[in-house]
Amino acid sequence: MSAQVPPSRAGSIPASNAPVRGAVDLAALAQAREQQRQAEERAAQLAANPEAAAAASLVFDATAENFQTEVIDRSFQVPVVIDLWATWCGPCKQLSPVLEKLVNDDAGTWVLAKVDVDAQQAIAQAFQVQSVPTVVAIIKGQPVPMFQGAMPEAQLRQVMDELIKVAAENGVSGTVGVPAPVEPAEPTEAELADDARFDAAFDAFEARDWDAAEKAYRDILETDPQEPDATAGLIRVQLMRRTDGVDAAAAIAAADAAPADIAAAKQAADIELLNGDARSAFGRMIAVVRATSGDERQAAREHLVSLFELVGNQDPDVAAARTQLANALF
């Protein structure tokens, strides 16, 4: 249940039928900032100064003045959940205590920003709030629409667990008060060439011996489970095995003709990625995620994430697709 924002209290909130999932202009809240670069710098400073980070409450009031530093910047370290509420809203009074309980239970893996829509109309306008409570998350400076209205704690627990998982997939897995891990620089091709562990994998890959290549990468991962290049190599081998000998044009046509066929969509996405069209591959799998549920949705999501890992998190298409995936999941 949610409460509509009455005209007498909405102030300059536009009377629109646009859904919360519509465009969100966060730039209006931080016009004078170089957003992402400075946000990343501030996130690094918070991570390097756990005492200062710990001093910040897990639950705080967000305003137009502190939105950049407390919400946008912090969202590069942990997910920031925004509870847009009003003093006159009954469902808000039901939801807020549950959110506050969960954020404390989760001990710093996310933070809760509370926004009084009457007092902070600029923020309410930015999120096109039509009813309260409205809950939105921010991950790496990007909005992730979540839900409107109150919900039981058990259901909300599932939603928050999903958010934490999505944030981690986007590289946001820090903890407030604990320095965020610094990802090591990826080794150069020359450095990889000097790593004899990869010789057998490279030789087998060049020979298109997918079984031998997969075994070589798995051998590396058996002794070093966190080796990122072995993980990426294994995904690449599995991709090549899945598409070896497949008629690319026929596979894509089959997937286009049967968009509900998950197996066809996965194969077509694999081929599109190999053809250098990552954007189409990602878009195809995101459409499947939106159209499915349960085990089928999970399978589509896992396949998409494996394609992200293959392309690399620094690729702009991956960054855009991760945001689209997060929106599709909520």
Count the Cβ atoms, other than its own, within 10 Å of residue 296. 14
What kind and span of H or E run contains 231? helix 228-243
Catalytic residue among 13, 92, 103, 281: 92
The span from the CA of 138 to the CA of 113, in Å, is 10
User: Cβ distance 129 to 68 under 8 Å?
Assistant: no
Strands 131-132 and 59-61 come out as: unpaired
Known active-site residue 282:
no
82 neighbors 59 (Cβ within 8 angstroms): no
Q: Which H or E run contains 114?
A: strand 111-116
Residue among 24, 46, 89, 281 flagged as catalytic: 89
Catalytic residue flag (residue 93): no
Displacement of CA 288 from its chain's centroid (Å): 17
110 neighbors 76 (Cβ within 8 angstroms): no
Judge contact between 78 and 111, C-beta under 8 A. Answer: yes
What is the rounded end-to-end Cα distance, in angstroms, of the chain? 17
Amino acid type, 114: K
State the catalytic residues. 89, 92
